[in-house]
C-alpha cells in the first residue's frame, strides 16, 4: 500500500555557502524529509560531503535526514553516518557484494534501511532483501550529478517494484530529474516519496521554495487520482504514515 506523498528536497542543489540557512528555509517551506546525497568520487564521478557536514547541519531541523550513500565501500562508514544524525540510510545494491549484510548493519545501528538501484540495475537485485527494507530508492538519472534529465525508462521499473512491495510498509522513493511536470507519472506508477533538487531550490527565499514544493506535491497527488468512467475522480487515501524518527 502506498503512503502519503512526501517531498524530500536534495540539499545537493542548495547554496553550500549558507547550507544551514537553506535547510531551515526548506523546513519552513514544507519539506517532509531532508535528502542528503553523499558522493565519494569513486562509486560516482563527483564528491559532495560526508558525515561531518551532516553532523554540522543536523541541528538546523528536526525533519528526517534521508541519507543516500553513493559510496563504495559502504559498510565501513555506516556507523559514522548513523552517529552524525541520519534517520534513514540508503545504500546502493551495486556498491558491495553483500547487500543483506549492509542492511543488517544499518538496522543494528537503529536506523531505517534503504536500498537504491541505478537505472541499469533490474529490480530483481532486491528480491531477497525486501523484508529487511524500509525504503527502496529508484534512481531516475545516473547518479553523480544534479540537474540531469529524468529517464522515462524507469517508470515501468517503479511500477514493478511497487508490485513487489505489495503490502509491506516500505516507502518507494524516486530521485533524479523530478519536477512538477513528471511528478504525476512517478506517483501514478507507485512512488510515494519524491526527491527534488533543482526543482525545489529555484528562487531565493523560503516562499519560493514553498511554492516549488507545493507544486510538486500537488502534481504527485493529482497523479494518484484515477479517472472514473463519467469524468469524476476519487482520491486514493494513504494507509501509511511517514516514518517516525
Q: Is 135 helix (H, G, I), strand (E, B) or coil?
A: strand
Q: Has 100 been annotated as catalytic?
A: no
Please report where in the chains the cell 535547510 appears, as a residue.
Answer: 23
The helix/strand/coil state of 146 is coil
Is residue 134 flagged as an active site residue? Answer: no
| Active-site choice (32, 40, 134, 175) | 175
Count Cα atoms within 13 angstroms, Cβ side, for 186. 35
Burial level of 190, CB count in 10 A (0-12/13-18/19+)? buried
The answer to whether 193 and 174 are in contact (CB under 8 A) is yes
Q: Are 127 and 164 in contact (CB under 8 A)?
A: yes
Calpha distance 97→56 (Å, rounded):
31
Q: What is the gyration radius of the CA atoms in the chain, in angstroms?
A: 17
Distance, CA of 36 to CA of 67 (rounded, Å): 5
DSSP helix/strand/coil, 158: helix
- Residue 189 φ then ψ, to 5°: -75, -15
- State the catalytic residue, choosing from 37, 66, 134, 192: 37
Taken in order 57, 193, 147, 99, the sign of the CA dihedral is: positive
Give catalytic residue positions. 37, 175
Amino acid at each position: 500500500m502506498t503512503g502519503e506523498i512526501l517531498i524530500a528536497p536534495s540539499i545537493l542543489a542548495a547554496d553550500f555557502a549558507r547550507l544551514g540557512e537553506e535547510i531551515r528555509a526548506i523546513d519552513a517551506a514544507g519539506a517532509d524529509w531532508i535528502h542528503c546525497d553523499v558522493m565519494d568520487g569513486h562509486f560516482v564521478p563527483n564528491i559532495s560531503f560526508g558525515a561531518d557536514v551532516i553532523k554540522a547541519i543536523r541541528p538546523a531541523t528536526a525533519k528526517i535526514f534521508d541519507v543516500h550513500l553513493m559510496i563504495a565501500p559502504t559498510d565501513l562508514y555506516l556507523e559514522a553516518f548513523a552517529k552524525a544524525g541520519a534517520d534513514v540510510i540508503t545504500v546502493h545494491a551495486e556498491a558491495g557484494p553483500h547487500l543483506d549484510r549492509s542492511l543488517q548493519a544499518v538496522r543494528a545501528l537503529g536506523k531505517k534501511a534503504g536500498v537504491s538501484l541505478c537505472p541499469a540495475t533490474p529490480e530483481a537485485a532486491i528480491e531477497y532483501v525486501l523484508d529487511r527494507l524500509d525504503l527502496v530508492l529508484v534512481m531516475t538519472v545516473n547518479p553523480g550529478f544534479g540537474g540531469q534529465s529524468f529517464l522515462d525508462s524507469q517508470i515501468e521499473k517503479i511500477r514493478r517494484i511497487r508490485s513487489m512491495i505489495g503490502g509491506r510498509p516500505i516507502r518507494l522513493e524516486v530521485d533524479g530529474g523530478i519536477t512538477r511536470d513528471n511528478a504525476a507519472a512517478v506517483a501514478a506508477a507507485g512512488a510515494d516519496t519524491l526527491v527534488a533538487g533543482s526543482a525545489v531550490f529555484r528562487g531565493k527565499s523560503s516562499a519560493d521554495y514553498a511554492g516549488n514544493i507545493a507544486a510538486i506535491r500537488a502534481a504527485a497527488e493529482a497523479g494518484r487520482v484515477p479517472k472514473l468512467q463519467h469524468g469524476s475522480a476519487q482520491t486514493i487515501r494513504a494507509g501509511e504514515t511517514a516514518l517516525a524518527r
